[in-house]
Amino acid sequence: MTLRIGIVCPYSFDIPGGVQNHVMDLAEALIALGHEVSVLAPADEDSPLPPYVVPAGRAVPLPYNGSVARIAFGPVSTARVRRWITRGDFDVLHVHEPLTLSLSLLAVLSARGPVVATFHTAITRSRALAAAQGVLQIVLERITARIAVSALARKVQVEHMDGGAVEIPNGVAVAKFADAEPLPGWPGECGPGTGGTLGFLGRFTEPRKGFSVLRDAFADLAPSRPGLRLLVAGPGDPDELFGQFPAALRDRVTFLGLVSEEEKARMLRSVHLYVAPNTGGESFGMILTEALAAGTTVVASDLDAFRRVLDGGRAGRLFPTGDPVALRDALVDLLDDGAARAALTACGDQVVASYDWPVVARRVLEVYAAAIEATDGRVIDEEWVGLG
């Protein structure tokens, strides 16, 4: 028997992001397990979208969690949400970030059956809802079951949202990253005292992504290490990026710009070390699991979320957050020691296996089954949810 599953993404599919990627990968994993899935998300109706995505119209930018989220809200969005729910006749509705002023919140308020909510961030609530306690309480009361993608996100549920949550991490399509081809000419040679390629993916102008920490470490190390290169991917102005480096080092920095999911996998396969110098605001660290899936050694700031993903430093090298000198030293150690990189990568392979999407999707299906049973008394057996 097949479950009819409706998934709501609050952020625009016109702009890539971690929540959007999570929603798409989960939908595809559930479809592969034999279920019917429809995803509602802000997106222009002319945008190229997967066949399971229903566009809910253009989004508007909203400052959120130290970044800018593109969301849809208002009477037109409300009408579209209600029509989609009515037509879908879903067994379960799965909303992401329901406390953001977007489609997910509207879907919770319009739902007529079991609602599962996934919380991705570790902030206590949406700023826009902070002054609307009544709305916040109504939304939380209508949620049947909660999922948190990290221990920090779950802690927020327990301490600030009057309830618990099942911790189910972000998944990663391991095979997609492991089988990707490196970019032509990358990663090149890497040996003691010379060479090596570093990678960074993200918005380099966003302070919490910590690019300045990597920039300073690279600029300090590059003059004494001929052949060291930096590969950067993400949105931004190339002139603004290259202007941050001394003129003599600019030809050793390559900027890919905004990349597709396929290009991201190739980028991660094209570096010896993936560097995550983030300074805060991270509840999980999806890019770390993607780098591990690509078989790339990870060097990351010692944030609690990153430490958890990297198994306390066994699956990747941690350095003190915001310290470019400590990062430089970690880079030297690993670029000079192939055996150390191989040991971290081997542990990373073991760690990332538990994040593979087929594994994660089955855990999500268990939550769906519990929510359906709690709402209308149906008992969903193991064979139905793909666990048999």
| Domain definitions of the chain by residue range | 4-171+356-376, 174-353
Check: CB of residue 71 under 8 Å from CB of residue 63.
Answer: no
The predicted pLDDT at position 130 comes to 55
pLDDT band at 381 (very low <50, low <70, confident <90, very high): low
Instruction: Compute the distance between CA of residue 31 and CA of residue 8 in angstroms, rounded to an integer.
Output: 16
Check: CB of residue 133 under 8 Å from CB of residue 161.
Answer: no
Give the list of residues 6+ apart from residue 149 with CB closer than 8 angstroms, or none.
22, 118, 119, 120, 167, 168, 169, 170, 283, 284
pLDDT band at 159 (very low <50, low <70, confident <90, very high): low
Give the list of residues 6+ apart from residue 195 with CB closer than 8 angstroms, or none.
188, 189, 225, 226, 227, 228, 335
The predicted pLDDT at position 287 comes to 93
Q: How many Cα neighbours within 13 Å face the side chain of 188?
A: 16
pLDDT (tens digit, 9 = 90+) per residue, 143-156?
999 999 877 778 77
Is the pLDDT at 387 greater than 50? The verdict is no
Is the pLDDT at 260 greater than 80? The verdict is yes
Domain 4-171+356-376 indexed as CATH 3.40.50.300: no
The predicted pLDDT at position 182 comes to 98
The predicted pLDDT at position 315 comes to 98
Structure tokens given for 5? 């599953």
For the chain, percent of residues with pLDDT exceeding 90: 68
pTM of the predicted model as reported, rounded to 2 decimal places: 0.80
Per DSSP, 251 falls in state: G
The predicted pLDDT at position 386 comes to 52
Q: What CA dihedral angle connects 334, 337, 338 and 343, to 10 degrees?
A: -70
The predicted pLDDT at position 207 comes to 94
Is the pLDDT at 60 greater than 80? The verdict is no
Concatenated DSSP letters for 111-134? Answer: --S-EEEEE---SSS-GGGTT-HH
Higher per-residue confidence, 272 vs 127: 272
Strands (E), 9-148: 36-41, 53-55, 60-64, 67-71, 92-96, 115-119, 145-148
Per DSSP, 182 falls in state: P
Check: CB of residue 251 under 8 Å from CB of residue 185.
Answer: no
Instruction: Compute the distance between CA of residue 240 and CA of residue 305 in angstroms, rounded to an integer.
Output: 29
pLDDT (tens digit, 9 = 90+) per residue, 286-334?
899 999 999 999 999 999 989 999 999 999 999 999 999 999 999 999 9
Residue 144 CB coordination number (10 Å): 20
What mean pLDDT, rounded, does the chain reach? 89
Instruction: Compute the distance between CA of residue 305 and CA of residue 187 in angstroms, rounded to an integer.
Output: 28
| Domain 4-171+356-376 matches domain 174-353 at the CATH topology level | yes
Phi, psi angles (nearest 5°) of residue 123: -85, 160
CATH superfamily of 174-353: Glycogen Phosphorylase B; (3.40.50.2000)
